[in-house]
Amino acid sequence: MCAAAVDKICVIGVGLIGGSFARALKRGALCGHIVGCGRSEQSLRRALELGVIDSYSTRPAEAVAGAGLVMVATPLGAMREVFSAICPALDAGAVVTDAGSAKAAVIEAVVQACGRLPANFVPGHPIAGTENSGVEASFAELFDRHRVILTPLPQTSPDALALVRGLWQQIGAEVTTMDVDEHDQVLAATSHLPHVLAFALVASLAHRSERQKIFDYAAGGFRDFTRIASSDPRMWRDICVDNSRALLDALREFRADLDQLAAAIEARDGDRIIEVFSAAKQARDQFVADKRKRPGS
């Protein structure tokens, strides 16, 4: 038996997030059968070999048949196609959730695909990940002590919300709820903007004529700052496109702050530079301290 009387769970998109979700369910013995679904049969076979899933199908409508809960963990650009395929095939009462990092875009895709927002759809986003991708990069501990944000709407079923919340909690996550627009703005600043900056910095340096020497002498700071530039480019393309409004707002604010810092450096204004750096250090140190105070950290 699965948690909360769900006997079968379908995971569509068995990569880092979907695969880790399935592994976490198995670790907690929370589900008797997990069916995986995706475009690549080779990847699905590998997921089966690794014990991440119990069966698979490359056809979404077939995969969701009999499932009490469906997790859609595909890239944002594939959401509309997936929901178009599964909406007519879902069992009555089946709960659907997702792991997309731009909630307004996901909700729009669901409405376009299904003609409405189903009451049993619970938009969600686990705030966890690595720069790696694919089922082989997945691991059961990915969500331990990490936040999962749910963005329910007025029409969201309380029972569906309770089921999704409870399942995430049972696999070790800390669950919070948030307004859709607030989620997209916060994630644009704290996740999407850093990834764009990392990609942009590496791309800029790679275009320089002296790029080989630059990379040869790059040290830990460069490695740490640019680690996330090894993330899946297609996934981050989708995020940039689907959360463009909030991301552009964050980029404009950052560019204004960067221009001010550049002006201080040009003017050799040491006082202003130390003011910016000190404020940044204090904020970063406080962030780390607060994380350590969280239960289980």
CA 105 – CA 76 distance, rounded (Å): 8
CA-wise closest residue to 95 among 131, 125, 68: 68
Angle value at C-alpha 83, between 77 and 88, nearest 5 degrees: 160
pTM, 2 dp: 0.88
Q: What is the DSSP letter of 90?
A: P
Question: 218: buried, middle or exposed (CB in 10 Å: 19+, 13-18, 0-12)?
Answer: middle
pLDDT band at 295 (very low <50, low <70, confident <90, very high): low
Superfamily of domain 183-266: 6-phosphogluconate dehydrogenase C-terminal like domain (1.10.3660.10)
At residue 1, the pLDDT reads 39
**Is the pLDDT assigned to residue 147 strictly greater than 70?**
yes
**Domain residues of the chain, as ranges?**
3-178, 183-266
CA-wise closest residue to 53 among 97, 100, 14: 14
Q: What digits encode the pLDDT tens for the residues 57-116?
A: 999 999 999 999 999 999 999 999 999 999 999 999 999 999 999 999 999 999 999 999
Give how far Cα 199 sits from Cα of 32, 95, 194, 203, Å: 41, 36, 9, 6
At residue 292, the pLDDT reads 79
At residue 4, the pLDDT reads 45
pLDDT band at 130 (very low <50, low <70, confident <90, very high): confident
**Is the pLDDT assigned to residue 2 strictly greater than 60?**
no
Are the beta carbons of 83 and 115 closer than 8 angstroms?
A: no
Superfamily of domain 3-178: NAD(P)-binding Rossmann-like Domain (3.40.50.720)
